[in-house]
Each structure stands twice: as C-alpha cells, then as structure tokens.
C-alpha cells in the first residue's frame, strides 16, 4: 500500500536519523482527520524535489514528528509543461487543476479569455485563486509528486505573449486548426506551453496575438472536448512522446 504524503515548508539539511516536525493545517488534517498514529510510516515532501520517508514518532493536536529513515531528491521533470487554462464556469476549474496536477503539469496559468463565462475580480479572484492552489496541493499529494505545481495569478491575453515567447514549444488547442497535435515535434527538454480556450472558443484576436508570439494552432481530433478536460488530454498526448513516460 502506498504511504500517505504530507507537504512541509522545507527539508533543508534533513538526513536519516533527523526528526522533522510538521505543524499547522497539514498536521491537523493528518492527526484529526486521517487519524495518524505513532509508528505509522509516512512520506514528507517539500514540493521542490526532496522527499523523506520515516516513522511517526509522536502526535499532538496540531503537530506530529517524523523520524527520518531515508531521503530522496528528484530532478525537476523535463520537459516542463505549462498549461494556460481559460476560466471555466462552476467547479470545472478545480477539476481541470486536479487532473492537470495528477498528470504532471509544472505550471498552471488561469486565463481571463475574452469569451470566458467566469470572471475573477476583487475578493472573488483571491478566493478562486486560493481554491486552485489548494486543489493543486491536494492533488500533488494524492499523486505522490515530489515537485508541487505552481498556480500563477490570473493572466490576460497580453500576459501570455511572454509565456509563449519563452517556450520551446507552444500550442493552442483549436477545433478549426488543420494541423494535428500528433504532427508536432516534441522537445525532450525545456518548456512546453499548452493554451486551452474557454467553452465559447478562443476569439480571433486572441488567436492572432498568440500566433504572433510564436504559438501554433493544433487540434486533438474530431471530437470537441470541454475546456476542463482538453488540457489533460493534450498533455497526456505530449508526455507519451517524451522520456517522462518512456
């Protein structure tokens, strides 16, 4: 059975024999909700590639301590994938973040596309962004990731130009594109950017701006997917052609 994974702020200098203290909400969830007990084995990760496996030495109301048995450090996976996700309506945003995290995306960029039904403004923007971050955090633990994905602040179409320009490959999923995603040459290192539009589709001016920045329009197939699922399908299709899934 897979060991439970918990996120901690830092694991700098930790070695076998060290004792790591976990506090706050993470500890409360482990002890009060999961009923973590002394003697159980767990995995702790800092979300930056370092993980430790150890035994729970003690528990408290909002704290537990782990005696470290082993330490592993994983390199950041390459190619790293950024998904620009147009804001979906309802809870589909959290669904998209969850599955993108599970499949191994490095960075998720919420996008205020022209045709997005959902709008992030003021207090709602802060709450929605926090929900996406929390969803990514929990999905990373569930999928046993040692690298936690980044959920950036809300981006405009103008903001995307810099993301596309710095990418080794940038694609825009578009139902009217003639080139299939399967025909794209996938880099083995660097960064890939995948842009997923809203349910209403990407506006012509947005498509032009992304193309000018260097993005290529591609299609997945004959079927039209929801915005909350198109990204994970595209990422899986790309990863299957890299060493990450070899």
CATH 3.40.1280.10 boundaries in the chain: 80-245
**Closest-CA residue to 184 (of 243, 106, 237, 108):** 237
CATH class of 5-73: mainly beta
**What digits encode the pLDDT tens for the residues 120-136?**
998 989 999 999 999 99
Residues of the chain with CATH 2.40.240.20: 5-73
pLDDT at 221 exceeding the cut of 90: no
pLDDT tens per residue, range 42-76? 999 999 999 999 999 999 989 999 999 999 999 99
* Residue 224 pLDDT greater than 90, yes or no: no
Q: Is the pLDDT of residue 222 over 90?
A: no
Q: Give the separation between CA 43 and CA 53, rounded to whole angstroms.
A: 5
Q: pLDDT at residue 1 above 80?
A: no
Average pLDDT, stretch 78-104? 95
Going by CATH, does the domain composed of 80-245 fall within 3.40.1280.10?
yes
Q: How many other C-beta atoms lie within 10 A of the C-beta of residue 3?
A: 12
How far is Cα 234 from Cα 197, in angstroms, rounded to an integer?
Answer: 13
């Amino acid at each position: 059975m897979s060991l439970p994974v918990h996120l901690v702020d830092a694991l700098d200098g930790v070695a076998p024999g060290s004792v790591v203290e976990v506090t706050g909400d993470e500890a409360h969830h482990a002890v009060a909700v999961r009923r973590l007990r002394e003697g159980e084995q767990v995995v702790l990760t800092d979300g930056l590639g370092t993980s430790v496996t150890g035994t729970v030495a003690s528990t408290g109301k909002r704290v537990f301590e782990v005696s470290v048995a082993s330490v592993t450090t994983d390199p950041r996976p390459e190619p790293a994938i950024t998904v620009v996700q147009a804001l979906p309506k309802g809870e589909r945003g959290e669904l998209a973040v969850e599955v993108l995290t599970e499949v191994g995306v490095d960075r998720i960029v919420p996008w205020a596309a022209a045709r997005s039904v959902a709008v992030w403004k003021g207090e709602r923007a802060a709450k929605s962004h926090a929900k996406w971050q929390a969803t990514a955090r929990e999905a990373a633990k569930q999928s046993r990731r040692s690298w936690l994905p980044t959920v950036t602040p809300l981006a405009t179409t103008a903001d995307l130009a810099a993301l596309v320009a710095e990418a080794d490959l940038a694609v825009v999923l578009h139902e009217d594109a003639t080139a299939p995603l399967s025909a794209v040459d996938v880099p083995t290192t660097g960064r890939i950017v995948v842009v997923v539009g809203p349910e209403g589709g990407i506006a012509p001016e947005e498509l032009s701006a992304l193309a000018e920045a260097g993005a290529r329009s591609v299609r997945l197939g004959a079927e039209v997917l929801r915005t909350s699922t198109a990204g994970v399908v595209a990422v899986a299709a790309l990863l299957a052609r890299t060493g990450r899934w070899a």
